[in-house]
Amino acid sequence: MVIDDGVIKYDLSGYIHSGNLQSNEYSALEKYREILFALNLIGEYPEEQVGFGNMSVKIDYSSFHQTSNPQFVITGTQTGKYAHLTGEHYTRVLDYDIKAMTLKAMGPVKASSEAITHGAIYLSNHKINTVFHIHNENIWNGMIEKNFPATPANIPYGTYEMAMAVKECMGETSEGYFVMKGHKDGVVIYAQTLERCHELSIELNNLFNP
């Protein structure tokens, strides 16, 4: 299976370029991202020079845009290669329409190619406050072999079909993880707090990378 990462599949016309984000918008998320980067659960495929992994946490951005959809801050597209991110590498997701595959974002960089999937997860259960999308071949293979919750192998990342599959895969749960069979090495972790999402990520890493 070829590496399938980094290509934005949602409508980009809603992107608003703005200045760097303030540290209070992303610093809590960045603390955990740096740990996952050190474990190579977020990074870049060296041969293909394609970044992998993205993270988000819910933030109320109603001062910028009114919507009934959960809003969040997310790592920008193709930022996986950086060990440390700053306000120039994060962006605000203000609104989205999953069926229409449109996304309204504002920041110094376009939102991750997985932003629509993050939105679908937040919509699935409003208790969920954070989403980590990591990559690791051992975890991915191990979860598939052990029949962990999974999205179908014929569904690619960042699509409407993936958003629907994610909702079905999660059910009513407010924390957990699943493997994307159709997205090589891709695993998603979600929880009510950043701390818990990080714990679940380390739990998976310890299980399949002892």
| Per-residue model confidence as pLDDT tens digits over 45-80 | 988 888 899 999 999 999 999 999 999 999 999 999
Type of residue found at 13? S
Cβ count within 10 A of residue 109: 22
**For the chain, percent of residues with pLDDT exceeding 90:** 80
**pLDDT over threshold 90, residue 8:** no
Tokens of 46: 């060296």
Full-model pTM: 0.95
The whole-number average pLDDT for the span 10-26 is 95
Per-residue confidence (pLDDT) for residue 106, from 0 to 100: 98
Superfamily grouping for domain 11-208:
Class II aldolase/adducin N-terminal domain (3.40.225.10)
